[in-house]
Amino acid sequence: MAWQDEFRELFPITREFAYANVAYTSPLAPRVAQATAAFFDGITRARSDKPQWLRDADALRVSLARLIGGDARRVAFMKNTTEGLNTVAQGLDWEEGDNLVLDDQEHPSNALPWLSLRRRGVEIRTVHSRGHDFNVDDIWARVDARTRLIAVSWVQYASGLRIDVAELGRRAAERGIWLVVDGIQGAGLLRAQVDAWGVDAFAFGAHKGLLGPLGVGALHLSPRLLEALDPPYLGPSAVTLVDRSSGEPHVRATDRSDARRLETGNLNYPGIAGWTAAIGLIESAGPERIEPWVLELAGALGDGLRELGLDVVTPRHLPSTTNSVRLSDSAAALARLRRDGVVASAVEGGLLRLSLGPYNNHADVERILRAARGLTH
Ligand SMILES: Cc1ncc(COP(=O)(O)O)c(C=O)c1O
């Protein structure tokens, strides 16, 4: 059996629906749900074993780092993408008059943490998109001598626009500007090489292309940014403790180059158990096979939608996993597709978003296109 067919079988939802909504949440493979359930089951039997849970978390750091082209020592678990982005925004040492560059297409998770810095005297220099389109040159045009950081999504949540992060990383590194990437729409579906690309912070959650549960995420940092960041919150972690040796208690961070110093308290161990199972599925399918497959399907879907005369707004500079279609009534279109067994989402700006994952196949694409034909009438 082809790997794609085997992979699809892990997701029973594919028997019922053409699931085109990974940009919202991944459907869970029962194995992932079972791994989380098994964690709780252990606790009902008084099998609490924190040292083992921490070892499991560290093992997942290794897998995540391998998957995104980073280093396990520079992975901190977060509750989600938003927390990772806030950790960077609040952990940097801003000076009055510093600025950062942010485009007008970002998900609120990658806008609010930066906008909040206005109260610390940071100027926000906005990249104004054309329709849903902008590129590295547009971002670069907003950079000036006081720019300290650029924040951008690898793949935009609404339009599916994919940015050339490698090119942006090259330019940012030359100027010593922090490059912060919201990676959640691409991670697991597309191949990231965060260290080679010069990404200083890569924030992502488990619940989209990484096929894991909600409520767990991670932040990967470059050595330089990790060194520069002060944790916005302090709590006990694998490398943070209260030193009481001198009578007066004080904070001791035992290793500044270990991203675990950004973690506080217990981790989301059940989430980590589920995410570990999900990454296991990706690793056994072969992460290098996923990107070409998903792009092949998304490319066929985009072509088919355009042939139907639909207004696909997703820019085409780089192939994307998402196709977004502008419609006069995207909510009605969504309901109509659902009746035909297609799961998608409606997002801001009257867009119907169709996003594919590795469990999809060409039969799904055809089913979506058959259902979409009705939208033209
Ligand atoms: C680009 C982008 N960033 C952030 C988020 C929110 O992620 P989280 O819930 O992990 O913070 C989403 C989706 O919900 C998203 O599409």
Q: Map the chain to HEC letters.
A: CCHHHHHHHCCHHHHCCEECECCCCCCCCHHHHHHHHHHHHHHHCCCCCHHHHHHHHHHHHHHHHHHHCCCHHHEEEECCHHHHHHHHHHHCCCCCCCEEEEECCCCHHHCHHHHHHHHHCCEEEEECCECCECCHHHHHCCCCCCEEEEEEECECCCCCCECCHHHHHHHHHHHCCEEEEECCCCECCECCCHHHHCCCEEEEECCCCCCCCCCCEEEEECHHHHHHCCCCCCCCECCEEEECCCCCCEEEECCCCCHHHHCCCCCCHHHHHHHHHHHHHHHHHCHHHHHHHHHHHHHHHHHHHHHCCCEECCCCCCCCCEEEEECCCHHHHHHHHHHCCEECEEECCCEEEEECCCCCCHHHHHHHHHHHHHHHC
| CB of residue 109 inside a 6 A radius of ligand 1 | yes
Measured in angstroms, how far is the CA atom of residue 321 from the centroid of ligand 1?
16
Atom of ligand 1 nearest to the CA of 85: 11
pLDDT digits (tens, 9 = 90+) for 334-356: 999 999 999 999 999 999 999 99
Region 143-164 average pLDDT: 98
Spacing, Cα 205 to ligand 1 middle (Å): 7
**What atom of ligand 1 comes closest to residue 155's alpha carbon?**
1
Name the pLDDT band for 46 (thresholds 50, 70, 90): confident
pTM, rounded to two decimals: 0.98
Tell me what the mean pLDDT of segment 170-181 comes to: 98
pLDDT above 90 covers what percent of the chain? 96
Q: Is residue 209 in contact with ligand 1, taking CB distance under 6 Å?
A: no
Ligand 1 atom with the shortest distance to the CA of 82: 11
Residue 204 Cβ < 6 Å to ligand 1? no
Give the residue-averaged pLDDT of 290-306. 98
113: confidence class by pLDDT, cuts 50, 70, 90: very high
For the cut 90, the answer to whether the pLDDT of residue 375 exceeds it is no
Distance 218 CA to ligand 1 centre (A): 12
Is the C-beta atom of 106 inside 6 A of ligand 1? Answer: no
Kindly indicate the confidence band of residue 254, based on its pLDDT and cuts at 50, 70 and 90.
confident
pLDDT digits (tens, 9 = 90+) for 185-196: 999 999 999 999
Q: Nearest residue CA, atom 13 of ligand 1? A: 24
pLDDT at position 48 = 87
pLDDT at 374: 81
Residue 163 has pLDDT above 80, yes or no: yes
pLDDT at 377 over 80: no
Model confidence pLDDT, tens digit, residues 215-232: 999 999 999 999 999 999
